[in-house]
Amino acid sequence: MRLAITTAAPCLLGWSAARRLSTAQSPKRPSSARSIGARKPKKPPVMAATPPSKRAKLNGGSWEHHLGPTYYVTGLQLTDHRLRVPLDHSGATPGTIDIFFRELVHRNKKDDKGLGYLLFLQGGPGFEAARPTDLSGWVKQASNYFRIILLDQRGTGQSTPITPDNLARRGSPAEQAAYLKFFRADSIVRDAELIRRAVVPQGSPSGGRWSLLGQSFGGFCCATYLSLAPEGLVEVLMTGGIPPGITQPCSAEDVYRRTFRRCLQQNEKFYQRFPMDVERAQRIVKYLAEQPGGGVTTPSGNRLTPRSFQLLGLQALGFSHGFERLHYLLEAAWDGEELSHKFKKDFDTWMAWDTNPLYALLHESIYCQGAASSWAAHRIREQEFAAEFDAVALANAGRPVTFTGEMVFPWMFEDFAELRKVREAAELVAADTDWPALYDVQRLQETSVPVVAATYYEDMFVDFDLAQGTAAHIKGMRQWITSEYLHCGIREAGATIFEKLLNMARGGVLLR
């Protein structure tokens, strides 16, 4: 079913792997005499000198802004920034961390003082900002109106990244779990407020405010921003990111109860597209179940078992071209009667738990504000969907093996080598009940900030019905509801989606 609906609400949470920056400088040519009439070679762009670090006092604490180098990729001027911020914005726990962000501006607009500022909040949790290589996608469209800030959210990329190794070095599992509590959306928003005050001029047309674009978990952060600091915002654009259950102490059970059903629907579609993969998936599961210990070891030291094999659905079932990628992965699974080295290596590549462990460690906590998640996905699976996701039983019965989606299970901290290092901390995080509030429903109901969203009807990760419950609490929220795109619409048609949402936010698309 394809829908394209624009609605206004009553007045009343990568995944995608970040792309790596790839730039190359042209070698200098030796000087030589020019023939008469030859063009004078262009001078290379002059790089601005790096000003001294800025220090200021904010909310009784100190922070430092370090302006890094300015450089170019095709069509864009980029400037690196670092900001030293409190680990705990309340001040109760001492310590600081470094936040990295990158400022993008269209190469032909770098001197334009009339441009607004746009902060992009990417999906996750636990993933750094994309590394731009050229002027394309939604960035190309947004650069007509904005200077764009790409933020490595705390704990990711170059923002004091958390790894299994350095987290384990922080002390006992209890100390590790306590540290992790400072890496949720509320802290990300408070970091963003310091960035805004550091880079957006008070004398700008927006009066020092900026706009937000939030994808997936980035949309959840937008709702938190509207709750904590709406005075800093011009407008908010969300794509596949209206958080569910904002009035609940923990909405995780409702989320997984619905997203497991959506996984089953996507599995059915996958096998309709590629019926030959029914037998391929069954063969892999049977082979793994027959191995000593119930699986094989991958090149990265992970355990590829029937249950970890099912995790491939996270990357495949809910994204554009995901069905195709999974199909091609399965067709290359065998080297004679053994699983191929290529398949096992590709499995490792699809699983980013080792490089981005925050996703596994904090995923369920993004739904918590005053209650524990207690491994909600695992409990709902075992209590309500055990038969539907029992890979070995399905394979032995000749039925299609089902893949899972955006769920984190406690046994992953046994099957994945790097996650084993932080297993005890993960258990403590799952049992923690002392999570601060992420949303202020009254402020959302009273907001004067224009809020618009691209809401994907068939989104496997952000349930449509739960999103509508939240949208009803955000005053004046307008939605573009469509089934033309899956969760990654911003990647498929970023320029189109961005322009549509910006026009909705600014009244170019009229209510009707």
Active site residues: 216, 434, 487
On whether the CB atoms of residues 230 and 444 are closer than 8 A, the answer is no
Strands 76-86 and 61-73: antiparallel
**Residue indicated by tokens 């573009």:** 480
**Residue indicated by tokens 């993969």:** 277
Which helix (H) or strand (E) segment holds residue 495: the answer is: helix 494-505
**What is the C-alpha separation between 185 and 241, in angstroms, rounded?**
13
- Non-local (6+) Cβ contacts of 247 within 8 A are 439, 441, 473
**Structure token digits, residue 387:** 């038969």
**Structure token digits, residue 391:** 């890979």
The number of residues making up the chain comes to 512
Going by the DSSP 8-state scheme, the letter that residue 96 receives in this structure is E
| CA 210 to centroid of chain Cα atoms | 20
- Non-local (6+) Cβ contacts of 104 within 8 A are 76, 77, 78, 132, 139, 143, 147, 148, 149, 150
Distances (CA, A) of 495 to 115, 124, 146, 319: 18, 22, 14, 18
